[in-house]
Chain A
C-alpha cells in the first residue's frame, strides 16, 4: 500500500509498522522500547508522529476532499505511536513539523527527569541510545529542578550482570526479552507508577541467555560485569567475527582495547543467531587475557622448559624429525581450528609422509548429514521437531531458533534499514505451540520445560530408540480406518525390548511418528549422544528419512563440519585420535591436552618428540619437548563451517599474546625450517587451496556467510575407533561453557560453580559425598576435577559430567573407587 512519509512516497506490504516505513523512507524517529525481533509495545512514547489517512464511505469508495477531488486525509486526533500503528492505504505521516518536534523533545525531557547524570562513569557512554536520542531530539536543557528518584545503583543481578536501577528508563526490553526469546521469565517490573524498578525473584537469573539484555538495554542500566569500568566504548576496537565456542557459527563482536579483549557482544546474522548469543560465548573470553598465557616458544633444555625463539624451536623439531620416519609422526588439531589451519595440518602431514592426522574431538559418526543439512531457518520455521540430546548446551542458539518455530512467526523480510524495528506479528506473552516439539534425553534438559512431549530414554539407548521409532515409522504409525495404527495392528508390533527402548508409551511414540510424518517441514536434531556410536547415528538418519525430516547434526565443536568436509583425518582407523597417541612415536598436538590423564602423560613423556601447541602450560605441555604458544580463537584470521554447512569468516581481534601463532603460523615456521614451501604456510596460501577445493573465495565472504552444498559426493571419512556397545555409569554431557577454560573465566566459573558432577542424592549418599564437595574422579581413564551437585532429576545410578575436548560426549565408565574429595582453599569473595 502506498504511504507518504513526509515528502517520500513508498509502497509497503500490509502489516508493516509505520516506524519501519519511516526508516525505510530514509527518515527517522526516536524509539527506546522497540527492539528488533521483539514485540512492539508502544510504551516509551518517543516515536510519536502526526498521522492521517483517508477513509472509506459506506459504499466502499474514498471520501473525497471537495476542494482537490483527492481522497480526504483525516488526521488522527492524537499523535500516534508509530511502532504500534500499521500502515494504511494512502496514509500520510509527518515526522518533521513543529508539533512533532515539540512532542519529541517533551518525551526526551520526561525520560531524563529521573535519569542520573552518570555519563562520566557509565559504561554505556558513547554507545548509549539515550545520549544519542537526547542529543538528536531534545532541547539540551531540562526544566526539572527537583531531586531525582533514588534507587539501588549496582545491584548484582547475577555474577555476570550488574543492574543500575536509577538509569533504567523502563523500556521493558529486558523483561520482554526474557519472556519472548528464551522463555525464562526471570525479570519483571516491581511496584508501579513512578516507583517502578527492575528486579528478580529468581536469584542469579537462571537462564542460559542472560547476557543479551546487556546488548539491548538502551542505557547503562544493565551492564556486562566482565567488562565493567574496563574502557570507554569509543576506545574499543570492534571486530566482527564468528563465535568459535560451538558449531552454530553465531556472529559476535569482539571489543578489544590495548591488546586485551574486554567484552564480547552479539552481532547480527539473521540466518543464524539473529542478535542473540549464549552466555558461554559472551562471558567466556577472559581466558584469552589470563596472566599465564604462553607468549614465547619453550624448549626443553637440561630437563627444563626454557624460553626460546621460534627459529630455535623449529630447528629443534626439524632435527628430531630428521632422525625418524615421517610416517611415525602424529598430528592432531582441535575441532575448532579454522579451515586454513586444517589445510596447514594436511600439508604438514603430507610433507612428512604421515597418515596419522586427525582433528579432535571427532565423533564415531559423521557430522555431515547425507542430505542437505537443515538450516537454522529450516529449524525456525519447522512444524514438527524432534530433539535428541541437550541442544541448549550443545548449540545454544538452536534452542532459541526452536522457540521461534514454536512461536509460529517466520523470520521477517529485511527492509532497507535492516531487520524491522517493530514487527507487529510479534506479541507480548506469546503462546508457544508446544505440540510441535518433542525432546528426548537420558536426563532432564532445560528445553524439556517448553516441549509438548518429553521422553526420557535410558542413557546409551539412542540406537535402540531410533530403531524402534523407525520401525514404527516404516510399518506402524499407519492409518487404519483414518486412525493411527494401534498396538497389534498390521506391522505395528514392537517386541518388548523395542517397546522399552522408546522411553514412552506406545501411543505417544506412534503420535510422535505421525506428527513428524504429517509435518511439512519436520526437522530431527541430534548431537553428541547419537554421534557417539555409528549405530545410533545410522538409526537416527534412517528415522529421519522414514519420516521425511531434515536433519540437523550438532557437531562437537565450531569447525567439526568444516574439518570433516576438508577431510582432515587419518589414512587408517588406528591412526585416528586418540589411538595415535599410542601408535605414533612423535606427536604434534594443537590445543589438545590428553596428558590430563596421568597414565597418558607418562606415555607422552616417552615419545621421541612431543610438540604441544597451546595457549597455556597444560599437563601435556608440561611434559613436552617443545611448547609453542597458540593464538586463541579470537586471534585468528580464517574460515569456519558451521553445522548448516555455511562458510563463515573468522577475523582476528588484536590481543597481546606475544609470539603466539595459529597452526597456519606454526606450519609456516616449520616449513621454513624444513626448507619447504608448504601449502597452508600462510592464510593466503591456505585459501588458495580452499578456493580450488570448494569453489568459493573465503576472503570475499559476506558477514552472512555462504551455504555450501557440494556438487559431488564426498569421500567417505575414516572412522575413529569407537565402542559399539554401551556400558557406563557416567554420561559425559555437552556444555555451553567451555570447561577447559573455566578456571580462567572467573565470572563464568562463579555462575556455574565449577564443572558440575550431577548425581542423584541417593548416589551422593552412597558415595560419601555431598552437594558442593570438590572432588576428583577417574572417568573413562581421564582424571577429572569437579564439584558435586545433588539433583533429583538425574536418574539414580547415572552421573553427569560436562565434556572436554579430550573427553567428548557419550557414555563412559567412571571408576567410583577413585572418587575423592579435594580440600578446597577458602576463597575470600573479592
Chain B
C-alpha cells in the first residue's frame, strides 16, 4: 500500500507521551499499553490505519496481527475514519423505552447516513452503540467524547444545528434520583418529592 510508505509515523514526535504511557505499566506488562496507544491514534486521526497498527506493534515488540486482533475486538476503535462528529446513539432497552429508536431514525433522515456510515464531507457519522451507562436520562447521544442526555425531539434538532455550525455544546448532564443538584440537600432530607416520606 502506498499509504504505508508516505505517511510519517504517528508517535515519532511524541516520545514523552509514549514513555509516559509505557510507564503506567510494569515492564513485563508492557503489552497493556496497546490500548492507551490505540486511543491516542483513534482520538487524533478518528480511526486506526494499517500503518498505525504496524507502528504500535513495533513500539511494543509484538506482531501486528496481535495489535489488529485487539483493535478489531472493541466497538470504539474504528478501521475507517469516523466523522468530525461521531454520533453514537444508545440503542439498549432503557434508552429504547425513552425513544432512542425514533431518535436514530430521525438522525438517519436528517443526515442521510445509517449505522456505520460517514457522510460525504466527513462531518457526521452514526453508530448504534449499546448501553452508555446513563439509563436514567435517556435517550442518550454520545458525540465524540461528550454525553448529551434526554435528547428529545427539539433538543436533538438544536444539537444538530449547533454541530452543523461547528459549535459543540457542553455536555447535557441531566439530573435524577440522588443525583439531584441544588435541591440535593432538601431532597436527601425528604427522601422523595412526594408519597410517604419525611423525617420521622
**Min CB–CB distance B16 → chain A (angstroms):** 28
Q: Are B63 and A201 in contact (CB under 8 A)?
A: yes
Pair B72/A185 contact, Cβ less than 8 Å: no
Known: A185-B63, A186-B63. A201 touches B68 (CB 8 A): yes
Would you call B102 an interface residue if the criterion is a C-beta within 8 Å of the partner chain's C-beta atoms? no
> Which of A25-33, A70-78, A187-195, A776-784 lies at the binding interface?
A187-195
Do B68 and A184 have beta carbons less than 8 Å apart?
no
- Give Cα distance in the complex from A753 to B67, angstroms: 27
Q: In whole angstroms, what is the CA distance A202 to B67 when docked?
A: 11
Residue B64 interfacial (CB < 8 Å): yes
Is the beta-carbon distance between B63 and A190 smaller than 8 angstroms?
A: no
Contact partner, B63, options A189, A191, A202, Cβ 8 Å: A202
Q: Is the CB of A190 within 8 A of B62?
A: no
**Binary interface encoding of chain B residues 60-74 relative to chain A, with 1 for a CB under 8 A from any of its CBs, else 0:** 001111111100110
Question: Which residues of B are found within 8 Å of A185, using beta-carbon distances?
Answer: 62-63, 65-66
Chain A 167-225 interface residues, beta-carbon cutoff 8 Å to B? 184-192, 199-202
How far apart are the CA atoms of A202 and B65 in the complex, in Å?
Answer: 6
Flag if B64 contacts A201 (CB, 8 Å): yes
Alpha-carbon distance A186/B62, docked complex (angstroms): 10
Instruction: Note all chain A residues with C-beta closer than 8 A to B69.
Output: 188-190
Given contacts A201-B50, A201-B53, contact A186 B65 (CB under 8 A): yes
In the complex the two chains form, what is the Cα distance from A184 to B57 in whole Å? 13
- What residues of chain A have their CB less than 8 Å away from a CB belonging to chain B? 184-192, 199-202
> How many residue pairs between the two chains, A and B, have CB atoms under 8 Å in the bound complex?
36
4 A-B pairs with least C-beta separation? A188-B69, A201-B64, A201-B68, A201-B65
A662, B57: Cα distance in complex, Å:
51
- Residues in chain B near residue A188, CB distance under 8 A: 65-66, 68-69
**Considering the chains assembled together, what is the distance between the CA atoms of A202 and B63 in angstroms?**
7
Known A201-B50, A201-B53; judge A192-B73 contact (CB<8 A). Answer: yes
User: Could you say which interface size class chain B belongs to?
Assistant: 10 to 19
Q: Which of B125-151 contact A (CB under 8 A)?
A: none
Would A201 and B67 be within 8 Å (CB), given that A191-B72, A192-B73 are in contact?
yes
Whether A184 pairs with B63 at a CB distance below 8 angstroms is yes
Question: Smallest Cβ distance from B80 to chain A, in angstroms?
Answer: 14
Complex CA gap A201/B64 in Å reads: 5
Closest to A200 in B: B65
What residues of A have a CB within 8 angstroms of the CB of B63 in the complex? 184-186, 201-202
Which residues of B lie under 8 Å from residue A192 when comparing CB positions?
A: 72-73
Q: Which residues of B are found within 8 Å of A186, using beta-carbon distances?
A: 63, 65
Least CB distance from B130 to A in Å reads 12
Residues of B within 8 A of A187 (CB): 65
The residue in chain A whose Cβ has the minimal distance to the Cβ of B53 is A201
For B65, the chain A residues whose CB sits under 8 A away are: 185-188, 199-202
CB neighbours of A184 from chain B (8 A): 63
CB-CB contacts below 8 Å: B56-102 with A: 57, 62-69, 72-73
CA distance in complex: A201, B72 (Å): 12
Q: Nearest CB to that of B50 among chain A residues?
A: A201
Q: Are B64 and A202 in touch, CB under 8 angstroms?
A: yes
Nearest A residue to B31 via CB reads A429
Chain A residues positioned under 8 Å from B66 (CB to CB): 185, 188
B67: chain A residues within 8 A (beta carbon): 201
A188–B64 Cα distance when bound, in Å, is: 10
**Which residues of chain B have C-beta atoms less than 8 A from A189's C-beta?**
69, 73
